[in-house]
Amino acid sequence: MAASAPAPHTTDFPAEGRCSYYVEKKRRFCRMVVAAGKRFCGEHAGAAEEENARKRILCPLDPKHTVYEDQLAKHLKKCNSREKPKPDFFIQDINAGLKDGTEKPEQLVPISSLSEEQLENLIKKLRKASEGLNSTLKDQIMSHPALHDALNDPKNGDSATKHLKQQASILGNIEKLKLLGPRRCFVEFGAGKGKLSHWVDIALKDAEKVHFILVEKVTTRFKVDGKHRKKNSVFERLQIDIQHLCLNKIPLLSKEKLPVVGIGKHLCGVATGVIGDIMWAKSISGL
């Protein structure tokens, strides 16, 4: 069978002032701006004939980007992924659960490695532990007028529509629980770009004394919370893993003494359980 021909370039030339490196995976030229007199951006400078003498290597702190080998020491001092001083609200493993002193790491194994008999025994234990619990969950799919225009935007693709419906439903449920109001602090766990807090702020309009704390463990691009500069809303972003987050030591919460509402959209099941423990342990308003 003959090998398939490589996909043709979508454009014959890179845009003016942009990198000349063709990204095969994306089937287009790199769109990064280049320095005066250069054909390639810093990330793809190794492809330029005049730059071949200098070697680029993966950053040891974050392999998602590269750096010139001869500038590594300088780069490590300013890399965004470098370890930074720990804030007061960082307490190692405060939300990691109770630790058994006799438990050893090698005793922990993935479920996929268990035999059929071991899995059956585990299922029996879980069923016994959950006896008497009301584990039937009812779907509460709702909406909110704050997202009406965005939901009906004809430019939306399937992905955008899906996320907007989820955000609208979360807002609707928050309002139903009477947690959507002024003089409180919303803590968004797993905030990502901060779009859930964005829509909560839109829904509250000019409500008084509303604060938002966005918790995310990784650096995030295209954040929307930076666009909010209203005098009645305060946005603060914390880059920390919720495993180590002590809510009581966050300066804004300890200073303002506002009721706290925990919200989230991008949490896995385990993280949701951890957040529940954090909120209930601190006697916080709602989740």
CA distance 252 to 236: 9
76 in Cβ contact with 82 (< 8 Å): yes
State how far the Cα of 17 lies from the Cα of 41, in Å rounded to an integer.
10
Alpha-carbon gap, residue 174 to 273, rounded angstroms:
18
| pLDDT score for 4 | 46
Q: Cα-flanking dihedrals φ and ψ of residue 175, to 5°?
A: -65, -40
Which percentage of the chain shows pLDDT scores above 70? 81
The pLDDT score that the predictor gives to residue 28 is: 87
Pairing of strands 260-264, 184-189: parallel
**pLDDT confidence bin for 9, thresholds 50/70/90:** very low
Q: In the 8-state DSSP scheme, what is residue 33? A: B
Cα distances (angstroms) measured from residue 37 to each of 14, 52, 152: 15, 16, 46
| 127-151 average pLDDT score | 88
pLDDT tens digit string along 100-132? Answer: 555 555 567 888 888 999 999 999 998 888 888
CA distance 22 to 78: 29
Give per-residue pLDDT as tens, 146-182: 999 999 999 999 999 999 999 999 999 999 999 999 9
CB 251 within 8 A of CB 211: no
Give the full edge-to-edge strand order of the sheet including 210-216: 233-239, 210-216, 184-189, 260-264
pLDDT at residue number 181: 92
- pLDDT digit string (tens) for 30-83? 999 988 888 888 888 776 555 456 788 899 998 888 888 889 999 999 998 888
Buried b (16+ CB within 10 A) or exposed e, 138-149: eeeeeebebbee
Task: Provide the CB-side half-sphere exposure for 215 (13 A, CA).
Answer: 25
Gap between the Cα atoms of 89 and 255, Å rounded: 14
As a whole number, the mean pLDDT across the chain is 83
SS3 track for 204-262? HCCCCCEEEEEEECCCCCCCCHHHCCCCCEEEEEEECCHHHECHHHCHHHHHHCCCEEE
CB-CB contact of 51 with 62 (8 Å):
no
Can you give the pLDDT at residue 165?
96
Segment 152-161 long-range contacts (CB within 8 Å, at least 24 positions apart) = none
CA atoms within 13 A on the CB side of 198: 17
